[in-house]
């Protein structure tokens, strides 16, 4: 893969990389660092990619691993973070953004990969190294928790209105 092709592919996948990184790191600066590190690692290891059609999946796996490395390093120095941080690219519904960020990563990451990035259960299973049944279960639990969050918020708004 030549440099120009690589740059075009990275450009096409940048929004996806940001969403995946944001799902894990929940911090814009760390997300940008993860995206740069992901691009660098991908460039350095581009010859290891056996099937160019799998570039997006391969890149996503590199991004996930990079984010986990960054989070492990920061954990040593990590101070208490906001419950619902604001990002540069907020969701159309701020409450949905907050509900997503309140989910534990093990539920949030499959949800983002499936509904925002369009990955199938099988692809998520391969990316996260978990069985497909676990992917289905985590998606179901994530939907249930978001539904509960919306119901709680709805009740609170109705109570305030009275």
**Complete domains list, the chain, with CATH:** 1-82 (1.10.1740.10), 90-162 (1.10.10.10)
Whether the CB-CB separation of 38 and 66 falls below 8 Å is answered with yes
pTM: 0.64
Query: Per-residue b/e over 59-70, b at no fewer than 16 CB within 10 Å?
Result: bbbbbbebbeeb
The 10 Å Cβ neighbour count of residue 134 is 16
Residues 26 and 86: their CA atoms lie apart, in Å, by: 9
CA 154 – CA 54 distance, rounded (Å) = 42
Tell me the pLDDT of the chain (162 aa) as tens digits.
889 999 999 999 999 999 999 989 988 899 999 999 999 999 999 999 989 899 999 999 999 999 999 988 877 554 434 444 444 454 467 777 778 888 898 999 999 899 888 899 999 999 999 999 999 999 999 999 988 888 777 777 667 766
């Amino acid at each position: 893969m030549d440099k120009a092709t690589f740059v075009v592919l990275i450009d096409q996948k940048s929004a996806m990389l940001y969403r995946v990184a944001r799902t894990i790191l929940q911090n814009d600066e760390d997300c940008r660092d993860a995206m740069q590190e992901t691009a660098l690692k991908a460039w350095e290891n581009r010859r290891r990619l056996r099937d160019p059609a799998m570039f997006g999946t391969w890149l996503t796996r590199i991004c996930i691993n990079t984010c986990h490395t960054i989070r492990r390093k920061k954990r040593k120095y990590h101070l208490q973070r906001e419950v619902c941080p604001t990002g540069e690219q907020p969701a159309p519904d701020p409450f949905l953004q907050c509900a997503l960020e309140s989910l534990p990563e093990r539920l949030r990451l499959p949800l983002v990969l499936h509904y925002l990035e369009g990955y199938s259960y099988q692809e998520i299973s391969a990316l996260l190294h978990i069985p497909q049944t676990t992917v289905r279960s985590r998606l179901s639990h994530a939907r249930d928790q978001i539904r509960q969050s919306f119901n709680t918020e709805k009740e609170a708004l109705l109570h305030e209105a009275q």
